[in-house]
Amino acid sequence: MKRFDLRHLKNDFAGRLKEILNNELEKEEVGIFLFEVIDFDNVQKSANIVDECGYILMNSLRFNEVDWTIVVKKAS
């Protein structure tokens, strides 16, 4: 399991999320991603990216007032 903090990227987290999913997680490995929700469209955007990259979205929840956490796993 690896944790990635993407909050510093604000609304520009999508490219880094894709890069991590495609290059930094092994099959069956779980990744926990934290990003800032400036716009709630980012929540759906993150779910779409996870699906496009062949991962399973295991959990998606609001962490506090501005932060969102998603937990993903590479599909076998």
The predicted structure's pLDDT at residue 50: 96
**Would 53 be classed as within a structural domain?**
yes
Domain of 51 in residue numbering reads as 8-30+39-62
**How far apart (Å, rounded) are the C-alpha atoms in residues 48 and 42?**
10
In a domain, 52, yes or no: yes
**Considering the domain boundaries, does residue 55 fall inside one?**
yes
The answer to whether residue 68 is domain-embedded is no
* 3-state secondary structure at position 36: strand
Q: Is 73 a residue whose pLDDT tops 90?
A: yes
Count CA atoms closer than 13 A to 25's CA, side-chain side: 29
Task: Please check whether residue 51 lies inside any domain of the structure.
Answer: yes
Tell me, yes or no, whether 69 lies in a domain: no
In this prediction, residues 10-16 reach a mean pLDDT of 94
Please check whether residue 21 lies inside any domain of the structure.
Answer: yes
24-70 pLDDT, tens digit each: 999 899 999 999 988 889 999 999 999 999 999 999 999 888 899 99
Q: Rg of the chain over CA atoms, in angstroms?
A: 11
DSSP state of 2: E
How many domains is the chain partitioned into structurally? 1
Is the pLDDT at 76 greater than 80, yes or no?
no
pTM here is 0.91
